[in-house]
Structure 1
Amino acid sequence: MEFLTPESWDEALTAKALSPDALPLAGGTDVMVELNLTARRPPLLLDLTRIPELTTWSLTDDGRIRLGAGVTYRQVIEELNDELPGLAMAARTVGSPQIRNRGTVGGNLGAASPAGDCHPPLLAVGAEVEVASVVGSRLIPIDEFFTGVKRNALSPEELIAAVIVPTARGPQQFSKIGTRNAMVIAVCSFAIALDAHHQTVGTGIGSAAPTPIRAHGAERMLTHALKSLWQRRGPLPEDLVQQFALNVATAAKPIDDVRGTAAYRQHALTVMARRTLTWAWDEYWSTGEAAA
């Protein structure tokens, strides 16, 4: 197995163009496990850890956050908790401190696991994935990025450059179910983002379908129902919360596997959807945003 170590972004793109079957290596928290278990034996590894521009984030002209593909979970937690609270919550649930120091948002996207922790909060806010090759770059809406189990929309010669994430315009929440508290792969997960400026709701579901997905029907139902409630100070009607939770569970397409049954996943999603919506709404009106 060859090991390529480009030291610039242009070098990396050129290497990927010359060797489209090269497997990118960022934090290595997924790739190295597969290599150690002999689940994968790529002919080439493309080490991206020496490219400094991938490890930084910046504010775009339209006020969004551009996260370089090599930005770690720890950076998100420590530097972007206020701007990207849902993603920071998800990052805190990832593995151990050592994993959070190494694992990257771009690597999580590239692996495209249905159970990826970053995926639900990115779906909930409508992020875009910036990908590049020697011929140029393009933006892929997060809804279109995941194409199957551990498959994504990248062409063979493309690499993930960054993910463009809208800053929070209201409360965000993330929750996941696992078999233990630490270093857990999600049995299922759920994220919600309230956009108080546009008065809309976004969702993301993980580990309950072949790909991470949004609960579009639940979003539409709740967005419509909240039209008369955004300026109201107080808890949401219980029947509305329950209907939202049921709609979220209906959107899922879970299977039985070693981590849990399909029935359990759907039940867990109703619980997580109900709790996260309640937490987000309570934060919204208790902080004075509703009155504003």
Structure 2
Amino acid sequence: MVEYLLPRRLDEALRALSERTDAVPVAGATDVMVRMNLRGERPPAALDLSRLRELAGWAPEPDGRRIRVGALVPYTRLVDELAGPLPGLVAAARTVGSRQIRNRGTLGGALGTASPTGDAHPALLACDARVELSSVRGVRTVPVADFYAGPHRTVRRPEELITAVLLPVAEAPQTYAKVGRRGAVVISTCSFALALWPSRGEVGTGMGAVADTPRRAVEAERFLGGELSSRGLWHTRGPLPEAVVRRFGELAAAAADPADDVRGTAAYRRHAVGVLARRTLARAWQDYRTDQGTWGIACA
């Protein structure tokens, strides 16, 4: 039998987790219930977070440069309310499961599950998001790139709860694309996210389902950021040379370390993520060239 814990405030939840570190936090339950029903997993205790209103909202940080998204905000609300300031995350959220899953599934739940195939992770990596972890001892934040410790494993301590994600407001186009066996309601065979940060002359990337954890294509980021800066393209917004787009895709594919499984071979995944990298770059750069300066303003 699974012991069921139902705190009504965040402090109650943190206290309960400090006393029962073997409890599994449950938000939308779109993954936990699958593991329980299909795999027969039975945790000693379940910590139901559904009553914690403190985690169910989002708000800009005081300086307006970041948005704090509560761990219980579902994908549907991300899509409906945050397309302006967080376009990359919203693009990924649109591809998650069915409408019913998007209504229930939460950003905090995706991070807690830490599936290498999860749609949200590449977008979070491309944006340099930070994960907020809380316990009775206090709060700490972890860069999302350091959050994943292995397949379905994270650096969250047993007494800690994922309470929010902090994301910078977009200042230029962000894109997300994935390959799957169907066009919708499908687990990714591979995925790729890209975000442009012209104020600091950098490019962010994230890849899913191409390694045992979500990861960035670091060398591809450095190459593209350097090319855009050295050619003055951040300022002129001129066309990207085809050789630059091609090399970016090659470096993204080289950063992948995929495995064979029922959704695709390692060779196919490596090829596909390179194609996605080229396509997302072409799309984002075209949007950047025609941008009217409206990125990130819709966060009232």
**Amino acid corresponding to residue 276 of structure 1 in structure 2:** T
Partner of 1:275: 279
- Confirm or deny: 8 A CA contact 1:234 1:282 kept in the other structure: no
What residue is the counterpart of 2:7 in the other structure? 6
> Is contact 2:191–2:273 with CA below 8 Å preserved after alignment?
yes
Whole-Å separation in 1 of the counterparts to 2:244 and 2:44? 53
Please give the alpha-carbon distance, in whole angstroms, between the structure 1 residues aligned to 2:82 and 2:162: 20
Q: Which residue of 2 aligns with 1:285?
A: 289
Give the SS at the match of 1:197.
helix
C-alpha displacement of 1:181: 1.9
The aligned counterpart of 2:246 is: 242
The separation in 1 between residues aligned to 2:218 and 2:265, in whole angstroms, is 23
Shift of 1:163: 0.4
2:36 — aligned with what? 35
CA distance in 2, matches of 1:250, 1:20: 39
Q: How far off its partner does 1:229 sit?
A: 1.2
Give 1:152-167 correspondences, 5 Å limit: 152-167=154-169
Alignment of 1:121-136 (within 5 A): 121-136=123-138
Shift of 1:39: 4.4
User: CA contact under 8 A between 1:114 and 1:210: conserved in structure 2?
Assistant: yes
Partner amino acid, structure 1, of 2:291 = T
* Paired amino acid for 1:66: R
- Tell me, in whole angstroms, the C-alpha distance in 1 between the residues paired with 2:187 and 2:42: 23
- Structure 2: give runs of 5+ residues left out of the alignment: 294-300
Greater than 3 Å deviation, 4+ residue runs: none
TM-superposed CA distance for 1:288, in Å, is 4.6
Give the structure 1 partner of residue 49 of structure 2: 48
How far apart, CA to CA, are the structure 2 residues paired with 1:38 and 1:218? 38
1:253 aligns with 2:254: no
Is the Cα contact below 8 Å between 1:86 and 1:174 reproduced in 2? yes
Q: Give me the TM-score of the superposition, normalised by structure 2.
A: 0.95
Deviation at 1:118, TM superposition (A): 0.5
The 5-angstrom pairing of residues 87-102 of structure 1 reads: 87-102=89-104
Partner in structure 2 of residue 146 of structure 1: 148
Q: Percent identity?
A: 54
Question: How big is each residue's C-alpha offset from its partner over 1:175-200, in whole Å with a ceiling of 9 and x where there is no partner?
Answer: 01111122211111000000122221
Are positions 1:19 and 2:20 aligned together? yes
Query: Please, what is the CA RMSD of the aligned residues?
Result: 0.9
Separation in 2 of the partners of 1:189 and 1:98?
22
Once residues 207 and 222 of structure 1 are traced to their aligned partners in structure 2, the CA distance between those partners, rounded to angstroms, is: 23
The answer on whether the counterparts of 2:130 and 2:144 sit within 8 Å (CA) in structure 1 is yes
2:77 is the alignment partner of 1:75: yes
Amino acid at match of 1:221: F
Asked if 1 retains the 8 angstrom alpha-carbon contact of 2:190 and 2:207, the reply is yes
Size of the aligned set, in residue pairs, is 289
Give 1:199's aligned residue: 201
In the alignment, what sits opposite 1:182?
184
